[in-house]
Every structure is written in C-alpha cells, then in structure tokens.
C-alpha cells in the first residue's frame, strides 16, 4: 500500500488532500466532519477584520448538460467573529492533532497581522496561509490580490509575518497577474516556507438576458468575482508548472484550482506539488469525495510502484518546457480505426472547417477516400499536420490514434535552429 | 357512431384511460438528452427521416435553450412534426440510424426531444408560417388525414386556396381515429389540426366525396385535386360468423375506442386479435391497457414472418399479451354473439406456400374477436377518373411530384404508398403541394378555375 502521508514545509498530514480556504472550511464543525471523511488537512476560511457579505454570492457555468464546470463567487473572507473562529480552531487542532489545520489570514496593519498570528499559533495552528489572492472586495481595500499583484508589497508583508511566526508560512498566490514567477520569488525572498496557488480568477460569470443584470444578482446589480472549479485547472497547472521548473524557485508548492478527482491531484503532484487543496468539488459534491481521491491515488501509486508522494512529485515537471525547446522534427498523423468508427463524421467537419482539410469522405469525388459506400472518413496521411483536432472531437474512445511517423531526422528545436546549431528540412505547404 | 357535426370530442372515451408511454420530457431531461447528441455531420438520422428534419440542428437548439428555434426547424421540414414526434416508429426511422447504435449505446431519443420542442411552441401559441401572396388558384383536397393537411399547409404557404373535404366529422385521419392512445390521443391530434389549419385553409367536415359531392364537381371548381384518402375499412375474413356481435375490424374498433364515448370493454375477459401486422399489435396492446385479462394474437405464420415491428411485439409480450403462431382462423362461433374462434394449424410447404390443416381444428374461447388482417384499398373510388392508374390498390404517382396519370390529380399518403406511416404521408403531401404549385405556375395558358 502506498504511503500518502506528506511533510509539506514541515507541516505533516496523513495525505496530501487538503481543503482550500473557502466555505467548506468556514466552521470547526465542517472541518471535523471533513476530517472524519479522511481529509488530510484544511486551510481555515480566511480570518480578517470582520466584514459583511452580500446575498446572493455564487454563480455557475453549466456546460454540455453538466452543472458547475466553473464556479464564480463574490464572497469575502470570514464573516464570523474572530473569537468564535479561534475557539473552534483550538477545538479542531486538539481533537485532530494529526491533521494539517492551517489558518488563512488577511489583515491590513502590521499590528493586526502580529496579533492574529499569535492567536493562531496559540489555537494550535500547524501553519499559516497568507491570503494575497482574493480578487474581489478585499483588493479594493488594499488587501488580497492587491498585495499578490505587487511583489514588493507581498515581500514586505511576508517579512512582517516571518518576524512573528514560529510555524510554517504559506503564501497563497493570485493568478490575476501576467507572470507568476515574480510574486512567487517575492514570497521566497520574504522568507515564506511555501506557496499555494491558485486563488480564484477575476471573472464575470454571465448576464441574465431577461433582466439585463449580470449574475449573481444582488438586488439589481452584480460585480466581478472569482472563478474556480474544473474550468480553471489548466490555468492552475500552467502556473504551478512554471514555478516548479524555475531554477531559482525552490519552495514547496500546494496546488489548487479545479481539483475534483485523484487524477487531477496526481497531475498537480506530477508537476511538483506536495499537497493539493480543493474547494469547488467539495462545494459541489461534499466531503465524501476524498474517499475516492485517497483510494484512487493509492491504487495508482501501487500500480506505478511509487511508494510515497515524493516518489513521483515533479516527474512531469522536466517535460514541461518552453516552446522553443520542442523537437520540430517530431511528426504524428491521425489514423482512423474503421472498426471502431461510428460514422458521425465529426472529424471530417472539424478538420475541414477548423483545421487543415486533410480528411476525405467516401464518394466525395476526390478519390482520396476508398469509395466503399460507407461513412468512415479517410485521413490523407501526407496532408495531415498532426494537429490532434480530429482525435479530440471523435466521440469514440481510441478510435482516432495519433501515430508517430519516423522520418529518420534528428531532434532539432527552434532554439537550435535559430542559433544556427542545426538545420531543418524545407517546409512543404500542402494547402 | 354518431357525433354531432364538428362536435369535437366527448369526454369519457375509453382511450383516455390509457396513459402516455413516453411522457413529455422535463426541461432537465430534454437538455441533458439533447447534450448527448453528437451533432453529426451529414447526419444519418436526417437521412432516415422521411421529411428530412434537420435533427442535429433542432436538438442543438434545445440544448442551447432556443426551443422556439428548435420547433421552427422541425415544423419547417414537417408541419405534422408534433404528432410525428409521438407516433413515428423512431426505432426504424431516425433513432434507428443514430450513430449511437454503432457504439451499442442508447440512440438519442429524437421523437421525445421533437415532442418537447413542438409542445413548447404549441403551448406558447408560437406560429412560424404565414399565407403566401394569393395566386387566385384553388385546390380541393380529399380526406383530412396527415397527407392532405401537410399538402394544404404547403399550398397555403405558396399562396393557393386550399379546401379539404373530409367525410368524417373529425379531421386528422388516422391520427385522430387510429394511432395508439399511449402515443397520441384524439384530442392532441385535433389540436394539431387546429394549429396547422390556422395558417388559413378550409376543412369541410362531413362531406364525403363521391357521395355528397362528385369528383366532377371538384374538378370543375378547382384547379387541381389532391387525393389523401388513405386506406379503406378493415379487410373481411370471409368466414362464417364474421358478422356476429363481438367480432369487428380492428381499425373500426380502435376508432370507436378513441372517439366514441359509448365504446366499452366491460365484461370482456378473453379477446383474440387475428393478424400479425402493426394494427394487430396495437390492438392487443390497447386491449391489455384497457384491462382485458386475456389477450391473444392469432397469426397464420411464425414470428419471423410477422410484418409488425419487433420492438412493438416485444413490448406487447412484456405487457402480458400471448401470441398463437401458425394458426389460421376458420370460423367465428357463437349464437347471438361471439363465443370463440375455430382455428386450424398451418405450416409452409416445400414451395413456401401456406398450408392449412383443416383436420385438426381447435376452439379458442373468446368474448371479442378483432380482425386485423389489413385494410381494403380505396382506389376503386378514383378508378373511374380518366388517366388515374391503380397498381395493387395503390394510386400510381410520380415520386417527385405526386402527380397521378391525370395531370390535375395528385395523390399522397396511404392511398398512394399502400399504407406506411404518418411521417410518409406528411412528406408526400408536402411534395405534392410543390408538384401542384409547379404545375399551376408553369401552366401559363390555363385560366384559374375561379375565372372559368
Ligand atoms: C391502427 C393504426 C395504427 C397506426 N399507428 C401508426 C403509428 O403509430 N405511427 C405512424 O406513423 N403511423 C401509424 N399508422 C399509419 C398512419 O396512420 C397512416 O400512414 C397515415 O395516417 C396516413 O395518412 P393519410 O393522410 O394518407 O390517410 P388517413 O390518415 O387514413 O386519412 C384519410 C382521410 O381521408 C378521409 N376520406 C377517405 N375517403 C374520403 C372521401 N371519399 N371523401 C372525404 N374524405 C375521405 C378519411 O375519413 C380520413 O380522414 C397507423 C395506422 C393504423 C391503421
Ligand atoms: C465561495 C468561495 C470563497 C472563497 N474564499 C476564499 C477565502 O476566504 N480565502 C482564500 O484564500 N481563498 C478563497 N477561495 C478560493 C479557494 O480557496 C481556491 O483557491 C479556489 O476556489 C480554487 O480552487 P477550486 O478550483 O478547487 O475551487 C474561495 C473560493 C470560493 C469558491
Ligand atoms: S469522429 Fe471518430 S467516429 Fe466519427 S467519423 Fe470520425 S473517426 Fe469515425
Ligand atoms: S418526423 Fe418522425 S422520423 Fe422524422 S425526425 Fe421526427 S420522429 Fe423522427
Ligand atoms: S445520428 Fe444521433 S448523435 Fe448523430 S446527429 Fe443524429 S441524433 Fe445526434
């Protein structure tokens, strides 16, 4: 059996599945219920100077008949009194000493930070997470993403925290920036022990066309919020991947953004994370999802022979490279398995209208597809650019395979080509 | 059966007791089913629909929440799309060609999605088509079944004046009088008639052509005549006892069951239905649905030879219907009403001919015997009209235009195709309208009937 336990910047937990700071971690009762389901840790809903929340707060992006492919919220940090929160943190850390109970903080003045770091440590917190990511409501007041977007301020506040904190400090990064490396480096320079990312992405979910009010409707108007859920996973992966491969960045990473299954979690770990955090998937399906997450990940690890999370953390990172390092002589072409093909011709229309028109139909007059009266399309291998599109639209599992063509050419990247280190064969236009 | 003219439907008809087998989908159901559709290129389902509805398009519109646009897509191709959605044997038409069958996954429920969209349009009173600019041409249509309704609608769109003559008091043809109530009830059929007719054509109910007016009258007063007369009454078995009370044609019985509040199956414990086609299967399923305890189909040949759809037979068997294969009826027995049916075993000889062994007859007790061995052809009605050719009881027409051997007579639906489905009648009626339009707009020399 694989060992799922982690030691993340000195914070230990029985598994890498942690709840992200959000509604599922609002109260001690919730977190204890989550722990009973098996969550390895939880980042408490961000504490700060008490705020007021609005109603309504959420809106979702349904897609293809599936609910909540993306979730958007305009909720702020905790709206419960700090005393109540600290009392509950104390109870949780006492009852569940083996879990990674982390307190998320967002304050304005150095004194406020200091006081609340001390109170968190007193309540038994295993670590602190600095919320420099909230993209709505708090940033207008100079907190949240307003900090995360300014590396200098981020570094300064991290410094304040490091002066007081005796427990590990995680800086939570905002994706609402154009480069993820500078704020992450600022966290490192500021002395943080780790980073977590991503917080939500600044967004406007939708417009109600009957009322002409964007959603969620708060008494006749709406505002921008934070986007999260399955839709944001690719964005989060890219940011995590960029930090993980960066030569000078060397803090542990807690991956967040669209994680719903053990596979999602494993991908973040493969890119270099040593813990992951989940919010939307729990808001959608409840704490119970951790049971399959733990089971699935452990079976996967057993199957692959990884004993610990460390064994495979970062294995994919070295294969995530800048474009200019990719081999331009590598070539794949689409191949349709006629036995599996159901004749929907989606590959044809996608390639014709959306790619390079390399797929032909029986009886289309070009003579390129065998005219057998059937509906199975034919890929002209010499025209196929190997873009993948047809295999992405094909509804039948492994019906279109992208097959590697060995052209007997050496590996040549754009970097090598433009620096004169290597040559490339003449480019031939097919269309 | 007496119904006061244009009375509509009385309450308490037997069919009302039979629940819908495929109820209207909820929005959630419809959207999730619509999202399963792959939106195929050159979709095989379209090719399998006799009216060529752009199925992926209407389904996508349901998925995007554009239900009105969806209904228009459907009705543009098939103005009877509302009844078709419920009555089409989709298993052998559109859904039977859905690519999901190739993946051994359930085909898209095209009929139910179609019904979802058209019901939405009906309920909201949405109208998509208007009368064309008047051409001054006038066309008579005989019969108010699906063929004539589709034809009249298209003619009206093209600006012609269409007048339907219908012998019955209720319009809609077999949609009103024949199709199984668990698919479509008479009230819904009449709702469709009203919806289609609202474009602005006339239906004269209770006018039987050949009796109340002659074909010569129609020819004189109109520029063209469309024949949408369907098929005739149930075929007779020509055997003793056939006219006893309790022995009836299946189509006639179904019509009473659907339209006549006086029809009842009270006291009927054992019913026999003779035949192996879709009408026979409908009849047994309806009798079961009405609570008749013992219902048996009596068929002269085996399961493989049955002309009824396998999916319908499977349903019937599931509902507790029994089938007696290889049995030929010899006589209906009884004194003043039916008590049973005498049958003899059959087999096929070396040449493939059916042989009845009359030496070994047996007696099947019954309170009701329905004959479902086909309907007579009505072509005799038009046999006297110069040029109209009749082939095996079907009025022979040009497939592209619906034109008969008489240039001003057109035909479509069951009377021309020998008995298919509502959707075929709708397709053929519309095609004939275009044929008539082509004839009348290229016929430069002939004056409109109105001017003669
Ligand atoms: C029992 C039964 C069940 C069926 N179930 C289905 C089903 O589930 N799905 C399906 O798609 N199809 C079904 N069909 C077939 C379908 O009903 C027909 O194919 C379709 O109705 C044919 O339409 P039509 O307009 O050609 O004829 P009809 O619907 O038969 O209409 C003909 C009309 O012409 C009138 N008429 C005839 N002669 C004259 C005259 N001389 N003067 C004035 N009016 C006249 C008749 O009264 C009738 O109203 C069923 C048929 C039967 C018998
Ligand atoms: C309703 C809601 C409230 C949130 N509140 C906080 C918060 O108080 N502090 C914080 O650091 N992140 C907050 N987040 C962001 C989440 O912790 C997380 O970073 C983000 O949702 C991405 O993860 P996911 O895709 O698993 O949801 C919130 C998210 C949601 C949906
Ligand atoms: S998309 Fe796939 S199943 Fe559809 S026609 Fe192309 S190869 Fe066949
Ligand atoms: S009209 Fe009938 S066959 Fe055509 S798409 Fe609709 S349900 Fe299918
Ligand atoms: S064949 Fe099936 S999946 Fe394809 S368009 Fe038609 S209904 Fe949709």
pLDDT at residue A136 in the model: 75
pLDDT category, B194, cuts 50, 70, 90? Answer: very high
What SS3 string covers chain B?
CCCCCCCCCCCCCHHHHCCCCCCCCCHHHHHHHHHHCCCCCCCHHHHHCCCCCCHHHHHHHHHCCCHHHHHHHHHHHCCCHHHHHHHCCCCCCHHHHCHHHHHCCCCCCHHHHHHHHHHHHHHCCCCCCCCCCCCCCEEEEECCCHHHHHHHHHHHHCCCEEEEEECCCCCCCHHHHCCCCCCCCHHHHHHHHHHHHCCCCEEEECCCECCCECHHHHHHHCCEEEECCCEEEECCCCCCCCCCECEEEHHHHHHHHHHCCCCCCCCCCEEEEECCCHHHHHHHHHHHHCCCCEEEEECCCCHHHCCCCHHHHHHHHHCCCEEECCEEEEEEEECCEEEEEEEEEEEECCCCCEEECHHHCEEEECCEEEECCCEEECHHHHCCCCCCCEECCEECCCCCCCECCCCCEEECCHHHHCCCCHHHHHHHHHHHHHHHHHHHHHCCCCCCHHHC
With an 8 Å Cβ cutoff, are B41 and A342 in contact? no
Domain B138-167+206-230+378-451, CATH homologous superfamily name and number: FAD/NAD(P)-binding domain (3.50.50.60)
Q: Has domain A323-418 been given CATH number 3.30.70.20?
A: yes
Q: Name the minimum distance, in Å, from the CA of A75 to any CA of chain B.
A: 28
Specify whether domain B234-375 bears CATH 3.50.50.60: yes
pLDDT band at residue B6 under the 50/70/90 scheme = very low
The answer, yes or no, to whether any atom of ligand 1 lies below 6 A from the CB of B381, is: yes
Q: Does pLDDT of B5 surpass 90?
A: no
Indicate if B234-375 has the same CATH topology as B138-167+206-230+378-451: yes
pLDDT of residue B449: 64
**pLDDT of A110 higher than 50:** yes
Percent of chain B with pLDDT over 70: 96
* pLDDT of B171 strictly over 70: yes
Q: pLDDT tens across B399-416, in order?
A: 999 999 999 999 999 999
pLDDT (average), residues A41-53? 94
The mean per-residue pLDDT over the stretch B352-363 comes to 94
Predicted pLDDT of residue B380: 79
Please determine, for residue B231, whether its predicted confidence score (pLDDT) is greater than 80: yes
- Asked if A344 and B35 come within 8 Å (Cβ–Cβ), the reply is no
Quick check: CB of A143 below 6 Å from ligand 2?
no
Confidence band (pLDDT; 50, 70, 90) for B3? very low
Q: Is the CB of B98 under 6 A from ligand 5?
A: yes
Residue % of chain A over a pLDDT of 90: 89
Q: What is the mean pLDDT of residues A179-198?
A: 97
Q: What is the pLDDT of residue B446?
A: 60
The confidence band for B2, taking pLDDT boundaries of 50, 70 and 90, is very low
Q: What percent of chain A has pLDDT over 70?
A: 99
Is the confidence at residue B18, as pLDDT, over 90? yes
Record: contact A342-B99, CB cut-off 8 A: yes
Min Cα–Cα distance to chain B from A177, Å: 33
Q: Would the CB atoms of B99 and A343 count as touching at under 8 Å?
A: yes
Q: Pinpoint the residues of chain A covered by CATH 3.30.70.20.
A: 323-418
Which residues from B are below 8 Å from A363, CB to CB?
none
pLDDT tier, B450 (very low <50, low <70, confident <90, very high otherwise): low
Sketch the domain layout of chain B as residue ranges. 20-124, 138-167+206-230+378-451, 234-375
pLDDT attached to residue B443: 66
pLDDT digits (tens, 9 = 90+) for B341-352: 999 999 999 998
Range(s) of chain A covered by CATH 3.20.20.70: 6-319
CATH number belonging to domain B20-124: 1.10.1060.10
- For domain A6-319, the CATH architecture is Alpha-Beta Barrel (3.20)
Mutant choice from B41, B60, B66 vs A, greatest count of A C-beta within 10 A: B41
pLDDT at A42: 98
pLDDT surpasses 70 at B452: no
Asked whether B167 lines ligand 1 (CB < 6 A), one says yes
CA of A374 to the centre of ligand 3 (A): 12
What pLDDT score does A412 carry?
96
Set of chain B residues whose Cβ sits within 8 Å of the Cβ of A343: 40, 44, 99, 102
pLDDT in tens, A214-239: 999 999 999 999 999 999 999 999 99
Q: Considering chain B, what percentage of its residues have pLDDT values greater than 90?
A: 91
């Amino acid at each position: 059996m694989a060992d799922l336990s982690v030691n993340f910047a000195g914070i230990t937990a029985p598994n890498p599945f942690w709840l992200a700071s959000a509604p599922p971690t609002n109260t001690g009762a919730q977190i204890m219920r989550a722990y009973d389901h098996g969550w390895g840790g939880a980042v408490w809903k961000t504490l700060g100077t008490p705020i007021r929340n609005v109603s309504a707060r959420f809106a979702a992006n349904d897609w293809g008949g599936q609910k909540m492919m993306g979730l958007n919220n305009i909720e702020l940090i905790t709206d419960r009194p700090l005393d109540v929160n600290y009392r509950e943190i104390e109870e949780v850390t006492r009852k569940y000493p083996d879990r990674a109970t982390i307190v998320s903080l967002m304050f304005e003045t150095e004194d406020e930070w200091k006081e609340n770091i001390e109170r968190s440590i007193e309540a038994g917190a295993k670590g602190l997470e600095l919320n420099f990511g909230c993209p709505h409501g708090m940033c207008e007041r100079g907190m949240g993403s307003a900090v995360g977007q300014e590396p200098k301020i981020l570094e300064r506040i991290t410094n304040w925290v490091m002066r007081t904190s005796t427990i590990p400090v995680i800086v939570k990064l905002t994706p609402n920036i154009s480069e993820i490396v500078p704020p992450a480096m600022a966290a490192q320079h500021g002395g943080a022990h780790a980073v977590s990312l991503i917080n939500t992405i600044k967004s406007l979910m939708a417009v109600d066309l009957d009322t002409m009010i964007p959603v969620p409707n708060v008494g006749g108007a709406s505002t921008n919020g934070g986007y999260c859920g399955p839709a944001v996973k690719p964005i989060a992966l890219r940011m995590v991947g960029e930090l993980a491969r960066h030569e000078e960045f060397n803090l542990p990473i807690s991956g967040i953004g669209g994680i719903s299954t053990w596979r999602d979690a494993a991908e973040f770990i493969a890119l270099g994370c040593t813990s992951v955090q989940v919010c939307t998937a729990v808001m959608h399906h409840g704490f119970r999802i951790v049971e399959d997450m733990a089971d699935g990940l452990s079976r996967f690890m057993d199957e692959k022979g990884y004993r610990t999370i460390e064994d495979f953390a970062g294995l994919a990172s070295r294969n995530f490279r800048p474009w200019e390092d990719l081999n331009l002589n590598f070539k794949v072409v689409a191949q349709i398995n006629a036995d599996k093909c159901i004749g929907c011709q989606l590959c044809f229309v996608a390639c014709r209208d959306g790619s390079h028109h390399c797929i032909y139909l029986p009886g289309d007059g070009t003579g390129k597809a065998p005219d057998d009266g059937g509906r199975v399309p034919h890929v002209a291998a010499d025209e196929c650019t190997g873009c993948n599109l047809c295999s992405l639209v094909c509804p039948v599992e492994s019906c279109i395979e992208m097959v590697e063509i060995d052209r007997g050419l050496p590996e040549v990247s754009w970097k090598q080509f433009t620096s004169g280190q290597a040559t490339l064969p003449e480019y031939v236009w097919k269309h | 059966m007496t119904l006061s003219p244009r009375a509509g439907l009385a309450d308490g008809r037997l069919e009302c007791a039979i629940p819908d087998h495929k109820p209207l989908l909820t929005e959630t159901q419809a959207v999730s089913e619509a999202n399963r559709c792959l939106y195929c290129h050159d979709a095989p389902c379209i090719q399998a629909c006799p009216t060529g509805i752009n199925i992926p398009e209407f389904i996508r519109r349901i998925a995007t929440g554009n239900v009105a646009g969806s209904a228009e897509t459907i009705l543009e191709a098939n103005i009877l799309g509302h009844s078709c959605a419920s009555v089409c044997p989709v298993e052998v038409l559109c859904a039977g060609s859905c690519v999901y069958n190739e993946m051994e996954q359930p085909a898209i429920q095209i009929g139910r999605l179609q019904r979802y969209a058209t019901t939405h349009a009906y309920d909201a009173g949405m109208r998509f088509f208007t009368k064309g600019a008047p051409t001054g041409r006038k066309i008579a249509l005989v019969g108010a079944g699906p063929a004539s309704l589709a034809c009249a609608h298209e003619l009206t769109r093209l600006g012609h004046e269409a007048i339907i003559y219908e012998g019955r008091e209720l319009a809609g043809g077999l949609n009103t009088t024949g199709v199984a109530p668990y698919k479509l009830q008479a009230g819904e059929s009449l709702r469709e008639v009203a919806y289609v007719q609202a474009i602005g054509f006339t239906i004269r109910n209770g006018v039987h052509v050949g009796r109340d007016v002659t074909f010569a009258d129609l020819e004189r007063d109109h520029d063209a005549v469309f024949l949408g007369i369907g098929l005739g009454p149930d075929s007779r078995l020509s055997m003793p006892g056939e006219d006893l009370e309790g022995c009836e044609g299946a189509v006639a019985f179904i019509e009473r069951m659907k339209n006549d509040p006086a029809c009842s199956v009270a006291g009927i414990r054992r019913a026999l239905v003779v035949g192996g086609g879709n009408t026979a299967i409908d009849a047994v399923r309806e009798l079961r649905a009405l609570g008749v305890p013992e219902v048996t189909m009596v068929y002269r040949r085996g399961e493989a030879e049955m002309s009824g759809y396998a999916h319908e037979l499977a349903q019937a068997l599931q509902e507790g219907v029994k089938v007696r294969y290889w049995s030929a009826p010899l006589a209906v027995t009884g004194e003043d009403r039916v008590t049973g049916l005498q049958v003899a075993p059959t087999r096929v000889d070396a040449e493939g001919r059916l042989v009845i062994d009359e030496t070994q007859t047996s007696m099947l007790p019954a309170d009701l015997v329905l004959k479902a061995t086909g309907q007579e052809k009505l072509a005799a009605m038009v046999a006297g009209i110069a040029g109209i050719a009749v082939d095996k009881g079907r009025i022979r027409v040009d497939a592209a235009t619906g034109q008969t051997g008489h240039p001003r007579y057109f035909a479509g639906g069951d009377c021309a195709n020998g008995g298919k489905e509502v959707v075929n009648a709708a397709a053929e009626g519309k095609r004939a309208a275009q044929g008539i339009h082509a004839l009348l707009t290229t016929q430069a020399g002939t004056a409109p009937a109105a001017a003669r």
